[in-house]
Amino acid sequence: MISIRRKLLMYLFGGMISATLLAGFATYLQVRHEMNEMFDYQLQQIATAFPTELSVGHTLPVGDDSEDEVMLQIWDKDNQLLFTSAPTINLRRVNTIGFSKTKLNQQNWRVYSQLDQGRFIQVSQPTAIRNRMAASMALRSLIPFVVLIPLLGLLIWIVVGRALQPIGRLASSINQRTPEALEAISDGSYPPELQPMLLALNGLLARLEQARTTQRAFVSDAAHELRTPLAALKLQLQLVERDNQDPKLQTGLGKLHERLNRANHLVQQLLTLARHEGRLPDRRYQKVDLHKLVASVVSELAPQAENKHVDLGVVASEASGNGPVFVSGDVENLRILLGNLVDNAVRYTPAHGRVDVSVASTDGHALLQVADNGSGIPPADRERVFDRFYRREGSGESGSGLGLFIAKTIAAQHDATIELGSVKDGSGLLATVRLKQLLVTDQAPRADATFILREKHESPSIS
């Protein structure tokens, strides 16, 4: 498919060149015709201006070159040649008064004859000379056309490029739209030819936004409505478990507890997803101390780690320095982001494993890192795990497949990135969140992260 730009240039260049060549050819023919008329007028003037006192034997400067432009001959009333400007050229007398043509030695001549006081004056000129001079003048008249072609080509190139700029701006505006930002495209700066396309695009964006809003509302309402019956089922199950001590029944009740816990976790993740998916970044962010945020999240998830006998703690990073590390963002959203990463690390780390959370600062960016010594994620799956509802087979843990998707959504709202890799020894998983660091001059001293880690190691019952 030929592009519109190329098609316009082809047609405009072709039309311009064709019109220029046609106009040049017409100008060439017109100039040749006018030059021939001028030569005829010249012959007529020469014949009229010749002196009348000329008599037989009168001499004038003459030449014998057949290439002379004009040849003058005069005969008296007795048909005696009185004068010729080229004695070696024996051009016969014509019997026609006015303009005529004759031929000598296969060469055509243009002749003008007139009678003047009994004399017959004949002025002749070779047709080849006339045509050569006329063609030379006509070709000179084409010089402006030769200069005009590249200038018109450049003008067409510029005009077509500028005329198609609105299409490029429209494509850029469409490219800036994301599933989280489907606002209508302003039609104030686009020409009328693009208005129907803009109306269609804005209508499509509006329908997509309405569909996404309906979807989010449905997920939120459904998850909210499920919380109450799930909580009631959990309570009823606990009552049944308390009143029945049969070991066989306890095994089934334990499996029911696992299923309900998984359902509760899914509902909670759906509510979180409904609150954060599609939200535009709040530019009224506040200053967030990442060290305090990490300590808060680790404290909240410490009981979950203790129940699984996982060593969860904060480690000091050499790149973090001695002062706090600040970023600009929504503290609650960042808490959810880090909480999902730590929760996943605890879930997929085997019993008696280890999960380390650290804060680092490098090249103007703050790094939140969560490392575990679990089975890790194969490189081929490290991008897919961020997809909605994607769960790796054989993980052995219950989950909703939404934790990393929610974390990535919140990171995108903060212009941050999440990378998954392996720890230094090649085992486990290292999740790194890279945020733009907020530079603060009045940094207060902070507690050493190594002390927090040692305190946690010595006292596993930290809460």
pLDDT at 369 > cutoff 50: yes
pLDDT at 282 > cutoff 80: no
pLDDT of residue 61: 47
Q: What is the DSSP string of 54-82?
A: --TT--------TT-S-EEEEE-TTS-EE
**Better-scored residue on pLDDT, 127 or 257:** 127
Closest CA to 378 of 388, 398, 392: 392
Read off the pLDDT band of 322 (50, 70, 90): low
Of 115-129, 238-252, 421-435, 439-453, minimum mean pLDDT range: 439-453
3-state secondary structure of 287: strand
Q: What is the DSSP string of 413-440?
A: HTT-EEEEE--TTS-SEEEEEEEEEE--
Strand partners, 72: 123
Question: Is the CB of residue 452 less than 8 Å from the CB of residue 315?
Answer: no
Give the integer Cα–Cα distance in Å for 365 and 200.
Answer: 42
**Better-scored residue on pLDDT, 262 or 370:** 370
Query: Which of 188-197, 268-277, 297-306 holds the top average pLDDT?
Result: 297-306
pLDDT of residue 357: 92
pLDDT of residue 87: 83
What pTM does this model have? 0.48
| Amino acid (1-letter code) at residue 19 | A
pLDDT at 447 > cutoff 60: no
pLDDT at 288 > cutoff 50: yes
Cite the beta strand spans of 231-372 per DSSP E: 286-289, 311-314, 326-329, 354-362, 365-372
Mean of the per-residue pLDDT values of the chain? 77
Question: Is the CB of residue 356 less than 8 Å from the CB of residue 310?
Answer: no
Q: Across residues 286-296, what is the average pLDDT?
A: 89
Give the integer Cα–Cα distance in Å for 51 and 82.
Answer: 13
pLDDT of residue 335: 86
Of 69-78, 117-126, 214-223, 430-439, minimum mean pLDDT range: 214-223
Query: Which of 144-148, 174-178, 263-267 holds the top average pLDDT?
Result: 144-148
Cite the beta strand spans of 5-63 per DSSP E: none
pLDDT of residue 386: 81
Q: Across residues 148-154, what is the average pLDDT?
A: 87
pLDDT of residue 266: 66
Domains belonging to the chain, first-starting first, are 4-145 (3.30.450), 192-274 (1.10.287.130), 284-458 (3.30.565.10)
pLDDT of residue 56: 46
DSSP letter, residue 194: G
What digits encode the pLDDT tens for the residues 80-109?
888 888 888 888 888 888 988 888 888 888
pLDDT of residue 65: 45
Tokens of 427: 């085992």
- Region for 415 from its dihedrals, namely left if φ exceeds 0, alpha if ψ lies in -120 to 50, beta otherwise: left
pLDDT of residue 221: 65
pLDDT of residue 284: 67
Alpha carbon separation from 193 to 158, 163, 185, 196, 200 (Å, rounded): 19, 11, 15, 7, 13
The three-point CA angle 29-32-36 to 5° equals 140
Percentage of the chain lying above the pLDDT 70 cut: 74
By the 10 Å C-beta count (0-12 exposed, 13-18 middle, 19+ buried), 14 is classed as exposed
Q: Across residues 233-260, what is the average pLDDT?
A: 70
**Better-scored residue on pLDDT, 184 or 261:** 184
pLDDT of residue 278: 53
Read off the pLDDT band of 433 (50, 70, 90): very high
Give the integer Cα–Cα distance in Å for 61 and 286.
Answer: 107
3-state secondary structure of 359: strand
177: number of Cβ within 10 Å: 15
pLDDT of residue 394: 52
Backbone torsions φ then ψ of 210, nearest 5 degrees: -65, -40
Of 136-145, 265-274, 359-368, 377-386, minimum mean pLDDT range: 265-274
Question: Is the CB of residue 141 less than 8 Å from the CB of residue 24?
Answer: no
pLDDT of residue 449: 39
Of 28-37, 156-165, 184-193, minimum mean pLDDT range: 184-193
What digits encode the pLDDT tens for the residues 204-230?
888 888 887 777 676 666 666 666 677
pLDDT at 111 > cutoff 80: yes
40: number of Cβ within 10 Å: 15
pLDDT of residue 219: 64
Read off the pLDDT band of 51 (50, 70, 90): low
Q: Across residues 340-353, what is the average pLDDT?
A: 88
SS3 content of the chain, % helix, strand, coil (to 5): 50, 15, 30
Question: Is the CB of residue 52 less than 8 Å from the CB of residue 70?
Answer: no
pLDDT at 41 > cutoff 70: yes
pLDDT at 29 > cutoff 60: yes
pLDDT of residue 432: 92
Q: What is the DSSP string of 117-137?
A: TTEEEEEEEEHHHHHHHHHHH
